[in-house]
C-alpha cells in the first residue's frame, strides 16, 4: 500500500485500450478513484492490434490523453493484453474493469487477471459497462475513422513494422470481409485475429463463376473491394494479376490508392494469365525482367503516397525457372521500385520458399517478403517469420470452406425433397446476421 500524508491509500489499476475517452471510461475512473490512487495502463500498440483496437494515435499520445483526465494519478505501459506481468510489477490492491469481459474470448484475460491477483490477495472489482447512445456513437466513430482511406491505406505498412508476421485472409464479399474483420480466437490466454484481407483473383473470379484469366475486369474487382470496404476497417491487398498494360496499370494504382487499398501485388507474367496453382501444366509466359521493371517503375511514379505499396510477385519457381532466376528478379524488381516481393511456390514442401527467403535476406534485411502457403500448407507462421517473411496470405480458404457445404446442401435437398436433413449443418440466419452492424 502507498502512504500519502499519513493515510494508507490503496493502489488501484485499470487498463485502457482506447484512443478516445467517453462516458464509460470516465465512469471507470470515477469508481476507481473512490478506492485509492489510480494508475492507468496504456496497452501497447502490438497488443492493441491483437485486441481489435488498431491505434489511430501513438502510444505517447494515448498516455498523455489518459494522464490529462482528472482522477488519474499515474500512467504506465501494459505491454501484453494479459494482466499477469503488469500486476506482478505494480502489485495493485485493486484492479478495476468493466463487467463486459465475463464471457467470450476476453474471459481468458479475466481469468489471467484473477489468478495474478490471487497470488497476493489483490482484488478485482467489476463495474457495470456503460451502454448508451453516446458511448455507442463514440465507438462507431472510432471504427468509421479506421475505415477512412487515409487510415486504412497506411495500416499495412504500420502492421509490417509492428508485427512479427502480418496475417492476411482471403475475402471476396462483404460477408467474407466481415468474417475476416471480426473473427477473434482465444488460445493459451491470448487473443488472435487476422490483420487484413486479400482480394484474390481466383476467388473473385470463381465467385462469379468465371475462370481466373484476367477475364473479370477492374471495374468488377473494384466493386468487390468496395463491398468489403463498406463493412470493414482492416487493410486490403489486391491481387492485381499481371497489372495489365502499363498504360492501364498507372491509372489503377491511382484508383486503388485513392480508395484506401494498401497494396497491389502484380505477377511477372504476360499474355493470357492462368492461375499459378496450375504451374507448368498449362502454357504460361513469364514477362522479361526489363518489361516488368518498367511496369513497376511506372506504377511507382504514379503513386501519390508512400503508404501505398506495389509488391512484385515472382513466378520463377512456379514456372520451374530456378532459384537463381527468382533471386535475380527479386533484386531487379526491388531496384525498380517494388515496395515488397512475393515469392510463390506450388511445392508441398516449403524448402524452396525457405531457400529463397534466406538468400534474399542475406542481402536485403528490410524489403518485405510475402508468401501464399496454399500448397505448402504445413508451414507455420512462426517458421515463415523465422525465415524473414513479413506477410502470410491465406489466399482461398474461405471460399473452399463454403463450397463443399453448399454443394452437399443442394444435393441433400434434391435427394430428400425437403430441407430438414440439411438443417443440422446450417447456421441459423440469426447467428449469421449478428455479424452485421446496425447504424
Restricted to residues 343-402, the positions that interact with ligand SPV (CB under 6 A) are 372, 374, 395-396
d(CA 233, CA 147): 4
**Per CB under 6 A, does 218 bind ligand SPV?**
no
For the chain, the C-alpha Rg in angstroms (whole number) is 25
CB of 400 to ligand SPV, least distance (A): 11
Restricted to residues 38-77, the positions that interact with ligand SPV (CB under 6 A) are none
Largest CA distance in the chain: 84
Partner that binds at residue 395, options ligand SPV, Mg ion, none, CB closer than 5 to 8 Å by kind = ligand SPV
Restricted to residues 230-249, the positions that interact with Mg ion (CB under 5 A) are 239
Which CA distances in Å does 45 have to 21, 120, 162?
A: 17, 29, 8
d(CA 274, CA 214): 8
User: Judged by CB, which is closer to ligand SPV: 212, or 227?
Assistant: 212
Q: Which of 14, 201, 284, 345 binds ligand SPV (CB under 6 A)?
A: 201
**Per CB under 6 A, does 200 bind ligand SPV?**
yes
CB of 177 to ligand SPV, least distance (A): 15
Instruction: Give catalytic status of residue 99 as yes or no.
Output: no
Q: Any idea what the Cα angle at residue 102 is, between residues 100 and 96, rounded to 5°?
A: 65
Name the active-site residue from 19, 45, 93, 212.
Answer: 212
Half-sphere exposure of 130 (CA within 13 A, CB side): 19
CB of 265 to Mg ion, least distance (A): 8
Contacts of 224 (CB under 8 A, 6+ apart): 172, 173, 199, 204, 207
Q: Which of 232, 276, 284, 367 binds ligand SPV (CB under 6 A)?
A: 276
d(CA 204, CA 184): 24
CB of 346 to ligand SPV, least distance (A): 7
DSSP string, 371-436: E--SSSTT--HHHHHHTT--EEEE-SHHHHHHHHHHHHHHHHHHHHTSSGGGGGG---HHHHHTTS
Partner that binds at residue 372, options Mg ion, ligand SPV, none, CB closer than 5 to 8 Å by kind = ligand SPV
Restricted to residues 200-219, the positions that interact with Mg ion (CB under 5 A) are 201-202
The single residue listed with the C-alpha cell 492485381 is 240
User: Judged by CB, which is closer to ligand SPV: 32, or 395?
Assistant: 395
User: Judged by CB, which is closer to ligand SPV: 78, or 224?
Assistant: 224
User: Judged by CB, which is closer to ligand SPV: 15, or 264?
Assistant: 264
The single residue listed with the C-alpha cell 490466454 is 189
Half-sphere exposure of 274 (CA within 13 A, CB side): 11
- Give how many residues touch Mg ion by CB under 5 A: 3
Residues serving a catalytic function are 212
Which positions lie near ligand SPV, rule CB under 6 A?
Answer: 200-202, 212, 239, 275-277, 372, 374, 395-396
Amino acid at each position: 500500500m502507498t502512504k500519502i500524508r499519513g493515510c494508507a491509500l490503496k493502489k488501484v489499476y485499470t487498463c485502457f485500450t482506447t484512443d478516445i475517452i467517453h462516458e464509460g471510461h470516465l465512469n471507470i475512473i470515477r469508481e476507481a478513484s473512490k478506492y485509492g490512487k489510480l494508475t492507468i495502463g496504456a496497452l501497447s500498440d502490438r497488443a492493441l492490434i491483437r485486441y481489435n483496437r488498431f491505434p489511430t494515435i501513438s502510444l505517447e499520445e494515448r498516455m498523455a490523453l489518459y494522464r490529462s483526465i482528472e482522477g488519474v494519478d499515474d500512467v504506465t505501459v501494459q505491454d501484453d493484453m494479459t494482466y499477469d506481468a503488469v500486476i506482478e510489477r505494480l502489485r495493485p490492491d485493486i484492479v478495476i474493469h468493466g463487467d463486459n469481459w465475463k464471457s467470450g474470448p476476453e474471459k481468458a484475460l479475466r481469468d489471467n487477471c484473477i489468478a495474478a491477483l490471487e497470488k497476493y490477495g489483490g482484488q478485482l472489482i467489476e463495474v457495470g459497462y456503460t451502454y448508451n447512445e453516446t458511448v455507442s456513437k463514440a465507438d462507431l466513430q472510432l471504427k468509421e475513422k479506421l475505415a477512412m482511406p487515409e487510415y486504412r491505406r497506411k495500416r499495412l505498412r504500420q502492421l509490417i513494422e509492428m508485427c512479427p508476421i502480418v496475417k492476411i485472409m482471403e475475402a471476396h464479399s462483404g460477408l467474407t470481409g466481415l468474417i475476416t474483420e471480426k473473427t477473434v480466437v482465444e488460445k493459451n490466454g491470448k487473443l488472435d485475429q487476422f490483420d487484413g484481407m486479400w482480394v484474390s483473383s481466383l476467388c473473385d473470379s470463381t465467385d462469379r463463376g468465371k475462370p481466373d484469366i484476367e477475364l473479370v475486369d477492374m471495374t468488377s474487382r473494384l466493386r468487390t473491394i468496395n463491398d468489403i470496404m463498406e463493412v470493414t476497417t482492416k487493410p486490403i491487398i489486391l491481387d492485381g494479376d499481371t497489372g495489365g498494360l502499363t498504360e492501364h496499370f498507372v491509372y489503377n494504382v491511382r484508383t486503388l490508392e485513392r480508395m484506401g487499398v494498401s497494396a497491389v501485388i502484380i505477377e511477372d507474367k504476360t499474355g493470357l494469365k492462368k492461375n499459378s496453382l496450375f504451374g507448368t501444366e498449362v502454357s504460361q509466359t513469364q514477362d522479361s525482367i526489363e518489361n516488368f521493371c518498367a511496369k513497376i517503375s511506372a506504377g511507382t511514379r504514379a503513386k501519390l503516397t508512400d503508404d501505398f505499396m506495389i509488391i512484385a510477385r515472382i513466378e520463377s519457381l512456379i514456372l520451374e525457372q530456378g532459384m537463381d532466376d527468382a533471386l535475380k528478379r527479386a533484386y531487379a524488381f526491388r531496384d525498380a521500385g517494388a515496395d515488397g516481393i512475393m515469392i510463390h511456390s506450388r511445392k508441398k514442401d516449403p524448402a524452396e520458399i525457405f531457400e529463397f527467403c534466406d538468400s534474399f535476406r542475406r542481402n536485403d534485411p528490410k524489403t518485405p517478403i510475402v508468401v501464399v502457403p496454399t500448397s505448402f500448407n504445413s508451414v507455420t507462421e512462426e517458421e515463415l517469420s523465422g525465415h524473414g517473411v513479413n506477410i502470410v496470405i491465406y489466399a482461398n480458404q474461405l471460399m473452399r470452406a463454403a463450397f463443399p457445404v453448399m454443394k452437399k446442401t443442394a444435393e441433400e435437398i434434391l435427394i430428400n425433397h425437403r430441407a430438414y436433413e440439411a438443417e443440422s449443418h446450417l447456421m441459423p440466419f440469426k447467428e449469421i446476421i449478428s455479424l452485421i452492424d446496425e447504424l
